[in-house]
Amino acid sequence: MPQFSDPHLAALGVLSMMVATSVWLARRHPGPWMVLFARLLALLILAGWVGEYVADVVLGTWTVEYSLPLQLTDAASAAAVLALWTRRVILVEIIYFWSLTASLQAILTPDLAQDFPSVFYFTYFTYHIGAVVATCFLVFGCRLYPRTGAAWRVYKVTLGFVVLPAVADILTGGNYMYMRAKPEHNSLVSVMGPWPWYIGETAVVAALMFLALQLLADWLRRRDLGLPRSRIASPDQASAPY
């Protein structure tokens, strides 16, 4: 799909609308509706994520080289479903750093061979956009901010996860997490050095992004300390139902 084509811009419009609306409603009009919204969004993400693999099998395009759920955005989408359902603080922290880096870049610079109205257009943007909306809803709307030091904890989890696609690339000859070759479409990796240097550069850029997101969360938490305590989530509330 050509980047910033009409179908891509439509997806970006849906992302902007859903993020703005969910965050504004959660902050201004909190209530029981948030439970239903979170559960429906979780099911929508799950449907898009699972639906993509089902479509691969049905259409005969599934391959071990490219169709295993080993991209970081796959992990982000799965974590988003669980975070929406449970509000566990560690899950919220994980999707905060993964969705606002990996999933968001996948939306802004999609490496997608199929275009609208392919089923893969809908599944791809459903679970990528859903993960970002879930993150913004939980963190900026429900004020479930990551704890101090969360950036480095999630960064270490990320480094541990990267081992899986690295091993899979060796065993299958695939290109999970673009560790064997850069994506065909333009992305942040495009401006980096050649293989294998861009892998190390990506790790550095990811650390800087995580740090910036941590600073943003810390600043928002301090700013919200002036609100009534009933409007700010405590660590216990972050692990409790809505």
How many whole angstroms separate alpha carbon 96 and alpha carbon 2?
28
pTM over cut 0.85: yes
Q: Which two tokens stand for residue 203?
A: 């790790």
Query: How much is the pLDDT for 137?
Result: 98
How many whole angstroms separate alpha carbon 5 and alpha carbon 216?
31
Helix or strand (DSSP H, E) at 193: none
How many whole angstroms separate alpha carbon 92 and alpha carbon 88?
6
How many whole angstroms separate alpha carbon 178 and alpha carbon 172?
13
- For residue 113, the 8-state DSSP code is S
pLDDT per residue, tens digit, the chain (242 aa), is 888 899 999 999 999 999 999 999 999 999 999 999 999 999 999 999 999 999 999 999 999 999 999 999 999 999 999 999 999 999 999 999 999 999 999 999 998 888 899 999 999 999 999 999 999 999 999 999 999 999 999 999 999 999 999 999 999 999 999 999 998 888 889 899 999 999 999 999 999 999 999 999 999 998 987 655 445 444 444 444 45
